[in-house]
């Protein structure tokens, strides 16, 4: 998956968003309609939502590691 800068005049496809899409998320191994057009705001929101789902575990372990180092 890659994210390209979108140069075509397309609207953001996420939810009820009506902003102009500034990014095109390109999926591998999908048919003709293999791009999801999103605006900058939605891309950030999407990133934050993904980060909430994926990052916390690594942050927790990093904090634990940091805390252990501080104790030593």
Q: Which residues bind Zn ion (CB under 5 A)?
A: 12, 14, 17, 19, 39, 42
Q: For residues 10 and 14, which CB has a smaller minimum distance to Zn ion in the complex?
A: 14
Q: For residues 40 and 63, which CB has a smaller minimum distance to Zn ion in the complex?
A: 40
Q: For residues 12 and 24, which CB has a smaller minimum distance to Zn ion in the complex?
A: 12
Collect all residues with Cβ–Cβ distance below 8 Å to 13 and sequence separation of at least 6: 21, 36, 37, 38
* Exposure of 31 in the CB half-sphere (CA atoms within 13 A): 1
SS3 62: helix
Cβ at position 29, least distance to Zn ion in Å? 25
């Amino acid at each position: 998956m890659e994210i390209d800068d979108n140069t075509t005049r397309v609207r953001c496809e996420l939810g009820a968003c009506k902003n102009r899409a500034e990014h095109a998320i390109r999926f591998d191994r999908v048919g003709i309609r293999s791009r999801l057009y999103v605006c900058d705001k939605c891309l950030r929101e999407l990133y934050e939502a993904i980060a909430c789902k994926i990052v916390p575990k690594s942050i927790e372990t990093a904090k634990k590691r940091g805390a252990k180092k501080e104790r030593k």
